């Protein structure tokens, strides 16, 4: 029996990520929820294997390191998704300026 | 003469302002464009690693020995290197590069586990060595590549079967994250 409460770990991770992503959270929420749940479940699985002595202390420490790395990969994907959203917001704002300038001078300047 | 210089100066300032304004209105790019080769390469490598873990359960104890899987690991390293080279050649692709570095690090850990090179809790130095020196596909355990100690002849070692499920899940998730980021780079285009 694992001592890790998957739903508790999941809600803590989601709360932390939501704070960081702030207004962009709704766009990445589905991906983050699914991935964080997988992370929490694997963590619980590693703990179970160690408690039942199916893996050694050394093996458990390698698995935990690999799991940290997996979490980093997910975070990098989220970071990239966030940057794409920021980029789209900036470019949409620039397009508005462009349309205003071209409209004001009566021909396509930019 | 002085008046001409002033007009010339004002004209240059005007040109500079127009240039700044025009460049400010150009679209900006914070993340690289979608690359089909990276998407397909990551999917192919994931399939290769996944097939290995799926078939691990039905392998004979002889097949499970490190020396009999060494060629497979070498081919994973080659595929990974080729994907990393492609990734690093693309503008604004640092995030995917970092993701692939992490996959490489985890392949290094996988090999250490298969060869039985980690005999106690990982130390900070071991982790540092893995980051710095990467994957060691030889049949030996090397401290310089993250092993607990130097020793040779680990070709007959087999991986603890209990490790397969969590490691498979982790690789599934890592490649899923790489492909998710690549698809996000499409920016809604089909």
- Integer Cα distance of A23 and B187 in angstroms: 18
Which range has highest mean pLDDT (A23-32, A83-92, B147-156)?
B147-156
Question: pLDDT digits over B16-53, tens only?
Answer: 776 666 666 678 889 999 999 999 999 999 999 999 99
Picking from A65, A77, A110, the nearest residue to B122 by CB comes out as A65
Question: Is A55's Cβ below 8 Å from some Cβ in B?
Answer: yes
Tokens of residue B52, six digits:
């290995």
Whole-angstrom distance, CA of residue B107 vs CA of residue B167 = 10
Q: By the 8 A CB rule, do B141 and B154 touch? A: yes
A interface mutation test: which of B134, B174, B187, B189 has the most A CBs within 10 A?
Answer: B174
Of B161, B138, B165, B141, which Cα lies nearest the Cα of B61? Answer: B161
CB of B95 closer than 8 Å to CB of A76: yes
What's the token pair of residue A95?
């397009």
Smallest Cα distance from A9 to chain B, Å: 17
Token pair for residue B141? 């355990």
**Interfacial A residues in 19-38 facing B (CB < 8 Å):** 31, 35, 38
pLDDT in tens, A71-87: 999 999 999 998 998 89
DSSP B116: T
Gyration radius from chain A CA atoms: 22
> pTM for the full model?
0.86
Q: For the segment A83-104, what is each residue's pLDDT rounded down to a tens digit? A: 998 898 888 888 888 788 778 8
Q: Quote ipTM for the complex.
A: 0.86
B residues 64..103 contacting A (CB < 8 A): 95-96, 98-99, 102-103
- B40 closest CA partner among B32, B29, B48: B48
Q: Is B29 helix (H, G, I), strand (E, B) or coil?
A: coil
């Amino acid at each position: 029996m694992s001592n890790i409460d998957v739903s508790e770990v999941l809600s803590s991770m989601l709360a932390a990520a939501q704070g960081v992503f702030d207004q962009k959270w709704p766009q990445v929420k589905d991906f983050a929820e699914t991935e964080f749940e997988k992370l929490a479940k694997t963590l619980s699985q590693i703990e179970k294997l160690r408690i039942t002595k199916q893996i050694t202390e050394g093996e458990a420490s390698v698995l935990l390191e690999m799991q940290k790395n997996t979490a980093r990969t997910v975070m990098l994907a989220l970071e990239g998704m966030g940057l794409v959203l920021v980029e789209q917001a900036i470019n949409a704002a620039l397009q508005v300026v462009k349309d205003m300038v071209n409209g004001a001078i009566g021909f396509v300047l930019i | 003469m002085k008046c001409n210089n002033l007009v010339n100066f004002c004209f240059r300032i005007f040109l500079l302002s127009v240039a700044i304004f025009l460049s400010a209105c150009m679209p900006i790019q914070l993340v690289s464009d979608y690359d089909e080769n990276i998407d397909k390469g990551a999917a192919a490598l994931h399939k290769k690693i996944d097939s290995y873990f799926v078939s691990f359960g039905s392998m004979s104890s002889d097949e499970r020995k490190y020396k009999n899987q060494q060629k497979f690991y070498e081919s994973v390293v080659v595929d990974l290197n080729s994907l990393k080279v492609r990734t690093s050649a693309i503008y604004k692709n640092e995030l995917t590069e970092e993701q692939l570095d992490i996959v490489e690090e985890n392949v290094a850990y996988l090999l250490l586990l298969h060869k039985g090179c980690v005999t106690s809790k990982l130390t900070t130095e071991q982790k540092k060595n893995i980051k710095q020196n990467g994957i060691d596909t030889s049949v030996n355990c090397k401290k310089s590549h993250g092993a607990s100690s130097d020793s040779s002849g680990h070709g007959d070692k087999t991986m603890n079967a209990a490790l397969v499920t969590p490691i498979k899940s982790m690789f599934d998730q890592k490649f899923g994250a790489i492909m998710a980021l690549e698809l996000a780079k499409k920016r809604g285009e089909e």
